[in-house]
Structure 1
């Protein structure tokens, strides 16, 4: 009886530990409806009709608002690892000067780039200062002539 209890408890602990390795799936951003996206037509629609059909974009162009982006991303993360992109869709709607749709482009996961930052220090110019140099280095460096009577600003 005791060995059966131990084996059941061990199995439960094992299942509990392995459940953390299943991963978490998340959807981030816009929920893209392909039928609505295909309804946006070049030369027919304008900003108002696109906003009425698709809603406000995820973000607009950085330098002007003639580019609208609808971004949808699905990710998966396992335990303590980084998130991995499993699916991504970006709908780019470009407008002309009059506000009419000039182009509609759709891209996927092929534009996702994984960047691995390096933990090395960034080299800087100048001299190296220790903690105590930074802390006590400015003592006595104040120009005492600047605080003399008659030299204060506004006098």
Structure 2
């Protein structure tokens, strides 16, 4: 019986190390939004310079309009080798008019995250499907043919 206890102890130790190796963790990314500072930005009184002094440079600006600034913060949780799951997301959007004055301050959360489901890992296309041999031998005779240029009989200047 004394030889079983060291084996049991070694097995429990190995199991414990395996379980702790698969522990989950949380990760925060992006801008850390301070509620007091973000509440300090007000419509009509602030401009781009004052917002930049208060909050700093934005995470990114609008793709089609430089007068929209976005401050994005995201917290994810991951367990072992699984894909990260979004726990919390905060987006602060500040809009400016042409003169650079704040016109709107909007806040959204993780409800704005889009879930995209790929379709069978292939992209459907219109047209007919070709077999392997049609793909492989389909261009024989078309390279350098009449009227195609690149050394063909109908190339200009010959």
Distance between the aligned counterparts of 2:116 and 2:139, measured in 1? 40
Output the TM-score relative to the length of structure 2. Answer: 0.84
What's 2:34 paired with?
A: 33
Checking the alignment, whether the CA contact within 8 Å between 1:89 and 1:107 is kept in structure 2 is yes
The more displaced of 18-27 and 28-37 is 18-27
Tell me, yes or no, if structure 1 residue 50 matches structure 2 residue 54.
no
Equivalence for 1:82: 83
Q: How far did residue 150 of structure 1 move?
A: 8.1
Residues 47-99 of structure 1 deviation map (CA, whole Å, 9 limit, x = unaligned): 11111211111111121111111000000111232211111111110111111
Confirm whether residue 151 of structure 1 aligns to residue 152 of structure 2. no
Note the 1:8-27 alignment, pairs <5 A: 8-27=9-28
Partner of 1:68: 69
TM-score, normalising length: structure 1: 0.85
Aligned residues: 154
- Give how far 1:4 is off: 2.1
Cα shift readout 1:104-137 (whole Å, capped 9, x = no counterpart): 1112223234333332533211121233432332
CA RMSD of aligned residues (A): 2.2
Question: Residues 60 and 69 of structure 1 are in contact (CA less than 8 Å); yes or no, is this contact kept in structure 2?
Answer: yes
Unaligned 5+ runs, structure 2: none
- 2:118 is aligned to 117
Instruction: Find the residue that maps to 2:17 and give its secondary structure.
Output: helix
Note closer, same or farther for the CA distance 1:136–1:16 as it changes in structure 2 (3 Å cut): farther
Which shows bigger deviation, 94-103 or 135-144? 135-144
